[in-house]
Structure 1
Amino acid sequence: MMEEEDPLRFGAEFGPKRTGNSTGVSLSTFKTLVWVSNLGGLLLVVIGLELMMVQAKFYMALFCIVAGVAIALFPSNYEIVGMEGIEIDSGEKTVLEDPKE
């Protein structure tokens, strides 16, 4: 049988889990990506609103607004190096025994 291995693809650090071939990004790189994409997305939304309100080009404006939102959400797909070992307590407490007994 053939061994099942993760495919190599462009941007292998994307996705909910990191494979052995991907490295992820550092926290400073992630922050830079977030700032650049948020500013780029905001600029596209502003251009879209300008097209919609002033120039009455609805479909081009809608395209710019949707593209701006997509660009602003893009860095959420990156995996940050060093974050895989952190566990967060959910705050829920489990009761092992019924106290009324």
Structure 2
Amino acid sequence: MGSRFVKFGVIALTLSHTGHSKLNMAPHDKELSEDLKKRIVALHKDGLGYKKIAKTLKLSCSTVGNTIQRFHRTSSTQNRRRHGRPKKLSARAQRHIQRLSLGNRCI
């Protein structure tokens, strides 16, 4: 199921397989850059609304709203630290193994 064109008078929209028009929005699994988040906050401080900011920066309205709400809550645009499994090897041990493997390519 590829894209297809639908004509409405003079305007032609490209529809994806989901039936929604394609907008130039950020993918769901990507984080916004720090610069972009700071621009969102600055535009909001200048008095622009969520919809105007979203249209200007080609982002979804909910992305803009979430960014501004997070800024009001934490006074920062930085993401929270993520937790993960601790490393098994120290940085020193990792460098040692790397040196051994580069020195002897048969390992």
| TM class, shorter-length | under 0.3
The structure with more strand, counted as a fraction of residues: 2
User: Scaled by the length of structure 1, what TM-score is found?
Assistant: 0.26
Higher RCO (CA-CA < 8 Å; seq separation 6+): 1
User: Scaled by the length of structure 2, what TM-score is found?
Assistant: 0.25
Larger radius of gyration: 2
